[in-house]
Amino acid sequence: MARLALESYTSTIRDAIRARRTVFRFDPGEVPRDVLMEILAAGTHSPNHHLTEPWRFTVVGPEMKRVLGQRYREIQAEKCAPGTAAVHVDAAAEKGWVKWMSKPTVVFVSCVLDGDAQQRREDTASVSCAMLNMQLAGCELNVGMQWSTGPITREASTYDLLGIDAEREYIVGLCYMGYPAEVGTSTRRPVGEVTRWTD
Ligand SMILES: Cc1cc2nc3c(=O)[nH]c(=O)nc-3n(C[C@H](O)[C@H](O)[C@H](O)COP(=O)(O)O)c2cc1C
């Protein structure tokens, strides 16, 4: 295959990698199912040692969204410092509910727990790659995403509600998705600062 001069490296892949941003605010309206399936399929095309295909996707339906939203609401209230006035606790809870319900599409992404510790590390790495590939596919489809590892992803009750056996699967995160209402900015240190070269 012909080598590409760096000056010519202005492809959509380069642009997508650099333009990809976590999206926190969405327009109303779920991601259509066919678009969502294309995004999840992008996740499944991630590198994966021994092709264990460890990713599992749990797409939250409207009923489950409300049930989980109630728990999300409680979590926000529980984050208030002891002694916080009830009116402020209620406000925090309500803010949490509104925030949760503002996420048009919610997908839990989990990793099958199989094999030894090395396989589990590698499988988790593959699922992380899947999360990124999903975001990159989303860039082109104009679907924004936020990877979240908030408390609701770690609670036993969440596993129970979603029917995920914590002995067999680990929730790597949830992916909030939708058409962006706002895209923020984010910067990185120059790569030279995080690179070491050996003799
Ligand atoms: C493993 C992982 C967990 C994350 N969990 C959260 C989270 O719980 N809440 C949140 O606001 N963002 C979360 N993020 C998104 C990061 O905040 C985001 O990637 C970071 O702000 C950099 O912004 P960028 O993605 O636009 O470059 C997570 C990202 C990763 C990779």
- Answer whether 189's CB lies under 8 Å from 121's CB: no
Q: What is the mean pLDDT of the chain?
A: 95
Residues 6+ apart with CB under 8 A from 172: 109, 110, 111, 124, 127, 128, 131, 149
Across the range 131-141, mean pLDDT stands at: 94
Given a cut of 80, is residue 26 above it in pLDDT? yes
How far apart (Å, rounded) are the C-alpha atoms in residues 112 and 172? 10
198 lines ligand 1 (CB under 6 A): no
Predicted confidence (pLDDT) per residue in 72-127, tens digit: 999 999 999 999 999 999 999 999 999 999 999 999 999 999 999 999 999 999 99
Given a cut of 70, is residue 157 above it in pLDDT? yes
Given a cut of 90, is residue 147 above it in pLDDT? yes
Domains of the chain, by residue range, sit at 22-182
Across the range 36-47, mean pLDDT stands at: 97
Residues 6+ apart with CB under 8 A from 155: 71
- C-alpha distances out from residue 22 to 28, 80, 82, 88, 111, Å: 17, 26, 32, 29, 21
How far apart (Å, rounded) are the C-alpha atoms in residues 181 and 72? 22
Given a cut of 70, is residue 4 above it in pLDDT? no
Across the range 136-163, mean pLDDT stands at: 96
Q: What is the CATH number of domain 22-182?
A: 3.40.109.10
Ligand 1 atom with the shortest distance to the CA of 173: 3
Given a cut of 90, is residue 190 above it in pLDDT? yes
CA 147 to ligand 1 centroid distance, Å: 6
Report the pLDDT value the prediction gives residue 14, as an integer from 0 to 100: 84
CA 38 to ligand 1 centroid distance, Å: 22
Report the pLDDT value the prediction gives residue 140, as an integer from 0 to 100: 87
Predicted confidence (pLDDT) per residue in 166-185, tens digit: 999 999 999 999 999 999 99
CA 8 to ligand 1 centroid distance, Å: 31
SS3 letters across 73-87: HHHHHHCCCCCCCHH
Ligand 1 atom with the shortest distance to the CA of 146: 15
Report the pLDDT value the prediction gives residue 2, as an integer from 0 to 100: 72
Report the pLDDT value the prediction gives residue 87, as an integer from 0 to 100: 97
Report the pLDDT value the prediction gives residue 10, as an integer from 0 to 100: 62
DSSP 8-75: G---HHHHHHHH--B--EE-SSPPPHHHHHHHHHHHHTS--GGG---EEEEEPPHHHHHHHHHHHHHH
173 lines ligand 1 (CB under 6 A): yes
Across the range 143-163, mean pLDDT stands at: 98
Report the pLDDT value the prediction gives residue 6, as an integer from 0 to 100: 66
